[in-house]
Amino acid sequence: MSKQRRAAPLPAPGPVCREARAFLLIALIAGLLLIWLIPPLCAPDEAEHFANAWAISRGQLLAAPAGNTCARRLPEDFKDFLRAYPASLSGEEGGRYTYQAMQAASQAAPENAGTYAYDTHIASWGYAVSALSMAAGTALGKLLGFAAIGSAYHQMILGRLGNLLFYVIVTYFAIKRAPHFRRTMLLLACLPMSLFLGASLNYDAMLIPTALYFVSLVLSLSREEEKPLNRGDWIRLLLCALLLSGIKGSGAVLLLLLFALPRRRLGDGKRLALFCGSIALAAVLGWLPSLLQSARMPAAGSEDPSRQQLQWLLSHPLKVPRLLGVSLKARGPYYIESFFGSLGWLDAHFPLPVMLLGWLALLASAVYEGCTFALWQGHRRRNLVALAVSLVFALGTFLVLYVIHTPLPDVTGEIGGECVEGVQGRYFIPIFLPALLAVSNGWLLGRDRDSLRTNATALSCLWSACCAALTVFLVLARYWLA
């Protein structure tokens, strides 16, 4: 009779967590450097995120109708700033940023010369932190007599700082609370792409840490199956539901991981119904800004490309497998690259050996921790829930971009095309852990040793620091060094 494998003890959440401390130090140092080193609006879609966050910080919770679209009202002083960046620096042959340009932007004082309509209308909880940071920083700057605090440059810096603090604090507690996968979470959060987004105005700076914390919370609540859910964890789950659905609609798919929670944790009868109802209500509140903004938008006509693409997709559902296959074959290498780090306006790339080494470190940690995961042993249903979450998220991302982005005139202008355009590898960072949970098992439990875990932690911390240093260096090399 074969010997039964004994599960390695899971680390209980406590005051000492080397991975969490390492992340806090690495991400704070690298993030604070990146806030200043990344040129204005040179993170993915940062100009649009900046305009939305600033408008919300000034009370424009929703974009107002403007002709056949909706727009935000921005100060005239911002017009030259938004025209200059990132256009003057983007592209493979883009220009360089200089200290003189940064100094000029930082010293420009607002002139209160009126407003103009800027064509953007995203309503998302993903702007809550950056908008609050802009509003609080502006109030403090005016109190101290700092007139330039209202300039576009300083508003951008304030928004980035708010996002960075959220990214660092929430991810720190996610790693600290996790009973497993701490090393993988550290490596994932210190990917060049993750750190770069965390120091930008992109709302992925909120989505990634929220997703990590939610997965950590689900895992920690799976430890003591007989213990009822307490009020504090209930509130945390509600906040996660609000943010996951409110930052990006696709994030709501992660809430399906709640089906992996032990049933006894949630109780029976009224308590279970109350829990499910409260989570659903929080998710709806998350969607509410987007729903209200959609109601303000002019009705799309029959010639709208997205509407035509949706009609084509609904009438050709059997084309979806081929659509996915062609897209993965044509764009697969780019998805892998942009998951690890395609920085700047997607025009600053790491050398292939660096990217391969980064993927090797992440996958090695994922395989090791995935094969020593004892928490869900004997509960294969939970693995299937994680698998469903991963597949639904990935499929939904492809199909949504196929409908709303691919047929646009400046993209393909084609209805029923054979490839999905606009998919970035970074979109899948939030589901890396759920995908890993789907295939986790206890195959290596008998071979797991304290010394091996200690060495693996040290290597994970070292590589994470290397990733942070490489990220800062690449930004310097791309934008600052002649």
List of E strands, 32-184 = 64-66, 69-75, 115-118
pLDDT for 391 equals: 95
pLDDT for 92 equals: 59
| Cα radius of gyration rounded to whole Å, the chain | 23
- Which residues neighbour 161 within 8 Å (Cβ) at sequence distance 6 or greater? 35, 133, 137
Helix H or strand E segment including 294: helix 270-296
Angle 421-189-167 (CA atoms, 0-180°, nearest 5)? 95
pLDDT for 451 equals: 83
DSSP state of 64: E
- Which residues neighbour 400 within 8 Å (Cβ) at sequence distance 6 or greater? 250
- Residue 234 has which token pair? 């209930």
Distance between CA 180 and CA 261 in Å, rounded? 16
Distance between CA 201 and CA 130 in Å, rounded? 7
Give the pTM. Answer: 0.94
Length of the chain as a residue count: 482
Q: pLDDT tens for residues 380-393?
A: 888 899 999 999 99
Full pLDDT tens readout for the chain, 482 residues: 334 444 444 445 555 689 999 999 999 999 999 999 999 999 999 999 999 999 999 999 999 998 888 999 999 989 889 998 988 887 655 688 988 888 888 887 776 778 899 999 899 999 999 999 999 999 999 899 888 898 999 999 999 999 999 999 999 999 999 999 999 999 999 999 999 999 999 999 999 999 999 999 999 998 877 788 899 999 999 999 999 999 998 999 999 999 998 888 888 888 999 999 999 999 999 999 999 999 998 876 667 899 899 999 999 999 999 999 999 999 999 999 999 999 988 888 999 999 999 999 999 999 999 998 887 777 788 889 999 999 999 999 999 999 999 999 888 888 999 999 999 999 999 999 999 999 998 887 777 778 888 999 999 999 999 999 999 999 999 999 86
- Residue 343 has which token pair? 């920085």
Distance between CA 132 and CA 240 in Å, rounded? 19
Residue 323's nearest CA partner among 402, 412, 220 is: 402
pLDDT for 2 equals: 36
Tracing tokens 């690495």 back to the chain, one arrives at 26
pLDDT for 423 equals: 94
Do strands 342-343 and 348-349 pair parallel, antiparallel, or not at all (unpaired)?
Answer: antiparallel
